Structure 1
Amino acid sequence: MMKRSDWIWTLIGLVAVVLSCYLLYKEIRTISLDELSDSLYAIRPHNWLMAAGATLGAYVALAWYDRIAIAHLGKKISWWFITVCSFTTYALAHNIGASVFSGAVVRYRAYSSKGLTPSEIGLLIVFCSFTFALGALLSGGAVLVCQPELIKRVADVGPWLSVSIGLFMLGLVGLYVLGSWLKFKPLQLGKLHVEYPRLGIVGRQLLAGPLELACAAAIIYYALPAESNPGYLVVLGVFLASFSLALLSHAPGGLGVLEVTFLAAMPELPTADVLAALIVFRVFYLLLPFALSLLVVMGFEWGQWRKRRSPL
């Protein structure tokens, strides 16, 4: 049965979608389908291939999240099984959006078949979420410090604030590394007992998190036209801001949130070109993996059903 908090977050997601779509409509109501199709056709074959490669890189990094978590738990599960489970989990969670459908059910069904207990699976989910948050802090902090003028694209504030926020974010990452190095006391999150990972595990987290975000942003970067392209770091910074807003809004697939943020932050590019790049992102990063994940789930459940039906 759905908890009240789940209903609240679902409602927030729906409100965010409606508001974002309204704002998006105001921005694109003068754009014709011909302009949009022209922008899609203008993307060179090489850029389509690079965007596809970036998508593959992003999902490999996401599989690495689970692999690192399994190593932290001290378990041994095949790389292939982890990759399929991770791909399915994130493909569903990215599209559905609401916290009740965060992928916990998929992970529980998959990893319990490999002998993991509910508490271990819960810790794995928290660990993977933290790896993503760590990657967002590290990537966002580095971008804000290296490109302090970038913050003006999303907020009317001075570069000094960008550097301050960036250093604060990097400082949080530094504290986490320090806690692992000095072996701080474990954290107690409700019933979960979370210990600081070994430095080797932390090092892998600091690579996997930023890698996934960098590859996801690269999909949009390669789909944008070369003319008036603001550069990869700008695209990465805007992507981090828009993706964070999409997660906070709980909007399914960040529907409308990504588009509104990118259009507002990239006024130098034609609206049709920005929308075309985001369509490529949605198809490669969200829709195609979602369709494949449904096939994986049906195949897994069919296999489990056949095992239960087979005689001992």
Structure 2
Amino acid sequence: MLWKAIGVAALAISVWLLSTELRNLSLDDVSARLVAMPPMTWILAGGATLGAYVLLGFYDRLALVYLGRRVNPFFVHVCAAATYAFAHLIGASVFSGAVIRYRAYSSKGLSPPEIATLVAFCAVTFCLGVVTVLGSVLVLQPFIVDRFLDTMPLDLTSGTGKLLIGAVILYLVVALLPIRAVRLRSMTLVYPTPRIALLQVVVASTEIIAAALVLYVALPAPFNPGFVIVTGVFVLSFAAALLSHAPGGLGVFELAFLTGLSDVPETDVLAALLVFRLYYFIFPFIFSVVVIAVFELRNRGAD
């Protein structure tokens, strides 16, 4: 209940700030920018979105390998796509995604503890990707923080990036150690194998980069600050949206992204954000609703 209240408050504040930021913006100009986008932009954005959602399916597949369970790969990818599409738009992704996963994977024989482990594993995988990509951006473009905050020492920013990358390297190094399990009271944590740990980092980082690519290709070349900058602004904006608990990060994500790309015309940024919302949120959500409806109808028919 508390997080829901925080999410609603964050949504209200962000929408108000966003409306203030865009008060002089013409919707006709944004519409004209969308119409003017070449067909190849829409195709590339769609391809990047498809790639991102396919990679999200590998989150679940890695988790199932970790659990030692076999489930049809097609079922896993459809389940993961529906889960993330629903969670991205509704918000509270860990909880809303857990409900869908429980319904899907319990039908394949997974126990509640196994499904809980799968959800936690996927959350860790996503965090590894965020830390890896953000750390890399801070090392390559340490001044990116200045787009959001007052000027910070470059050594501090790049040092933070190196610490983040170091944390990921430590995660991989621990996977090489012979100790495979740690017991905490009544719980036993089994560390992933080196192969699974490495794939977690690679898959999650690539998925985040694919999602950022949607926005990158939607921005016009003359004002595009470059892929590394766009990716860094995307990761920071997406993290802010998740932490806000606002439904779908609405308002929070847009406000943060506009702030991070303040040197790009607002019309172009907003048009790119609309393309991202359409491809990464709306279309997948429609797919998710259809998949969930078909799954529930089939289960009811089986009963």
1:226 alignment partner AA: A
- What's the CA shift string for 1:161-220, capped at 9, x where partnerless? 211110111111111111111144635678653211001111111111011100110001
Instruction: Give the deviation of 1:99 after TM superposition.
Output: 5.5
Instruction: Give the deviation of 1:154 after TM superposition.
Output: 1.5
Aligned to 1:145: 139
Matched, 1:113 2:107: yes
CA contact (8 A) 1:119 1:192 kept: no
Per the normalisation by structure 2, the TM-score is 0.96
Instruction: Give the deviation of 1:98 after TM superposition.
Output: 2.5
SS of aligned partner of 1:210: helix
Out of 190, 209, 212, the residue aligned to residue 214 of structure 1 is: 209
Single out whichever of 120-129 and 163-172 deviates more from structure 2.
163-172
Q: Percent identity?
A: 46
Matched, 1:232 2:227: yes
Q: Structure 2: how far apart are the matches of 1:95 and 1:56?
A: 17
Q: Which runs of 5+ in 2 are unaligned?
A: none
Q: Structure 2: how far apart are the matches of 1:190 and 1:25?
A: 50
Q: Structure 1: how far apart are the matches of 2:184 and 2:214?
A: 35
1:90 alignment partner AA: Y
- Pick closer, same or farther for the CA change 1:191–1:18 going to 2, 3 Å: farther
SS of aligned partner of 2:222: coil
Aligned to 1:4: none
Out of 166, 189, 194, the residue aligned to residue 189 of structure 2 is: 194
Per the normalisation by structure 1, the TM-score is 0.94
- Pick closer, same or farther for the CA change 1:269–1:194 going to 2, 3 Å: same
SS of aligned partner of 2:263: coil
Aligned to 1:3: none
CA contact (8 A) 2:241 2:252 kept: yes
Aligned to 1:74: 68
Q: Structure 1: how far apart are the matches of 2:187 and 2:78?
A: 26
Aligned to 2:267: 272
CA contact (8 A) 1:152 1:158 kept: no
Aligned to 2:84: 90
Superposed structure 1 runs of 4+ greater than 4 Å apart: 187-192
CA contact (8 A) 1:43 1:224 kept: no
Matched, 1:133 2:106: no
Single out whichever of 290-299 and 191-200 deviates more from structure 2.
191-200
Out of 15, 20, 27, the residue aligned to residue 14 of structure 2 is: 20
Out of 37, 40, 44, the residue aligned to residue 46 of structure 1 is: 40
CA contact (8 A) 1:97 1:251 kept: yes
Provide the aligned C-alpha RMSD in A. 1.4
Instruction: Give the deviation of 1:263 after TM superposition.
Output: 1.3
SS of aligned partner of 1:105: helix
SS of aligned partner of 1:77: coil
SS of aligned partner of 2:5: helix
Instruction: Give the deviation of 1:101 after TM superposition.
Output: 4.0
1:167 alignment partner AA: K
Total equivalences in the alignment = 302
2:176 alignment partner AA: W
Q: Structure 2: how far apart are the matches of 1:121 and 1:177?
A: 24
Aligned to 2:53: 59
- What's the CA shift string for 1:195-246, capped at 9, x where partnerless? 1100111111111101110011000111111112100100000001000101
SS of aligned partner of 1:85: helix
Instruction: Give the deviation of 1:102 after TM superposition.
Output: 2.7
- Pick closer, same or farther for the CA change 1:191–1:306 going to 2, 3 Å: farther
Q: Which runs of 5+ in 1 are unaligned?
A: 1-6
CA contact (8 A) 2:180 2:192 kept: no
CA contact (8 A) 1:185 1:195 kept: yes
1:128 alignment partner AA: C
Aligned to 1:158: 153
2:34 alignment partner AA: L
- What's the CA shift string for 1:12-45, capped at 9, x where partnerless? 1111111110110011111111111011112211
- Pick closer, same or farther for the CA change 1:229–1:100 going to 2, 3 Å: closer
CA contact (8 A) 1:217 1:239 kept: yes
